[in-house]
Chains A and B, each alone.
Chain A
Amino acid sequence: MESPMPRRLVRFLLAAYPRAYRDRYGAEMAAVLDERMASWRDLVDLARGALDARLDPQIEPPRVLAAAAAAPAAQPAPRAAALPARASYGVVADGPPIRELSRRTFMRRVLAAGVALLSLEFIGGTLAFTWPQVRSGLGGKFRLGTAADIVAIQPSWAAGWPYPYTSARLFLINVPAAKELALGHQASVPNPTADQLLALWRKCPHLGCQVPQLCDALKRFTCNCHQSTYNILGEKLKSGPASRGMDRFAVSIGNDDVIVVDSGRVTAGAPNLGPDHLTFSDPYPWDAACR
């Protein structure tokens, strides 16, 4: 018996047997295996036996064991003596026996649960990463309310003042009224149509600073960072380093008259080509900036 089969391997294969089977035959089988040389043939045979036991567990009712325990030949070896005491496999149908959890089993289960949790987390993270990115926030759709709602919040919007909508970082421009405002006229357009609306992204196309509200003097936007200046429709004027006008989000008006801005659909502002290429000119010089 130079090299008996490693006990761990034996235990591993015995663990593949159903519990009732293990309770009944496990100790004997371990004893047999301890007396045999390690061999692959035995391993394969045990694996087939375990499969067979799972498919068709041929477990004897406990009466035989009880009789065996009562037999005079019985020498109470620790493990064998434990067998009749937990001969509950005969009444498995009444419900699984409640057994104490060994430290090893407990640690094993904790480890297994941890690994499973980590795997789930990894798989979940991978799946979530492939999901469409934005559900809310910038990139999603924003319902700003009806024109009447906006006028109620900010009455000057009907007169052309941009309506700042903070959560989408945009100015909603009431185009006809805004033009009048920039020209210095009094106007009231309380109910503009969808194509009369402009949603200007307040992110300056130069370096991304937030563009502040119109300045009172010129009715132009001037970015505080580098003085890039835009007219009231967000078109780039001479002052400042930005190479194009402010970017625009798609605007629509739903059936319920609610103004909807899709911040996922962005149109880049028109390139900076000089005063002749503006769609709207206010009365101030092209190179004037707010101070």
Chain B
Amino acid sequence: MPDDPRTSELGRFAEPALLVLVSLAGGPKHGYAIMTDVESFGATSIGPGTLYAVLARLERRGLIEPLGPQDRRRPYRLTMDGAAALEVQLREMGRFVRAAQARQPGAAT
């Protein structure tokens, strides 16, 4: 996951960025919907300040894009780049999870 230039150097926003990408992978959402969605599928929550810091970064990197505003809200959707970056990250994480599980006691049997 640190090798992908599209998601590297996100610092403390790396984890919430991943959560946002996953949320948007399920379809375009506006800010508040992303927050509730993350709370439903993740075991964590994202504050509004963090959310928009992440959205701004992802938008600048071209991983997400804004859609037309609906009332005061503005939905965002994953771009092709964003989907690719998410896929890379998830693959890396899957490899990590499998490697970790292989070291669990009794995993070899």
B52-74 contacts to A (CB < 8 Å): 52-53, 55-57, 59-60, 65-74
A235 CA to B31 CA in the complex, in Å? 94
B5 within 8 A of A: no
**A7-43 interface bits toward B, Cβ cutoff 8 Å, 1 = contact, 0 = none:** 0000000000000010011011111110110000110
| Contact segment of B43-51, B85-93, B96-104 | B43-51
Find chain B residues with CB under 8 A from A69 CB.
68
User: Is A48's CB under 8 angstroms from B49's CB?
Assistant: yes
Find chain A residues with CB under 8 A from B32 CB.
31-32, 35-36
B30 within 8 A of A: yes
A71 within 8 A of B: yes
B35 within 8 A of A: yes
Given contacts A29-B31, A60-B60, A73-B67, contact A80 B74 (CB under 8 A): yes
User: Is A21's CB under 8 angstroms from B71's CB?
Assistant: no
| Contact segment of A49-57, A197-205, A213-221 | A49-57
Find chain B residues with CB under 8 A from A25 CB.
52, 55-56
Find chain A residues with CB under 8 A from B68 CB.
68-69, 71-75
User: Is B48's CB under 8 angstroms from A58's CB?
Assistant: no
Find chain A residues with CB under 8 A from B71 CB.
31, 75, 77, 80
A93 within 8 A of B: no
Find chain A residues with CB under 8 A from B59 CB.
58, 60, 64
User: Is A42's CB under 8 angstroms from B48's CB?
Assistant: yes
Indicate which residue in B47, B51, B72 contacts A77 across the interface (CB closer than 8 Å): B72
Q: Which of B47, B48, B50, B60 has the most CB of A within 10 A?
A: B48
Q: Shortest CB–CB separation between residue A31 and chain B, in angstroms?
A: 4
B1-57 contacts to A (CB < 8 Å): 30-32, 35, 47-53, 55-57
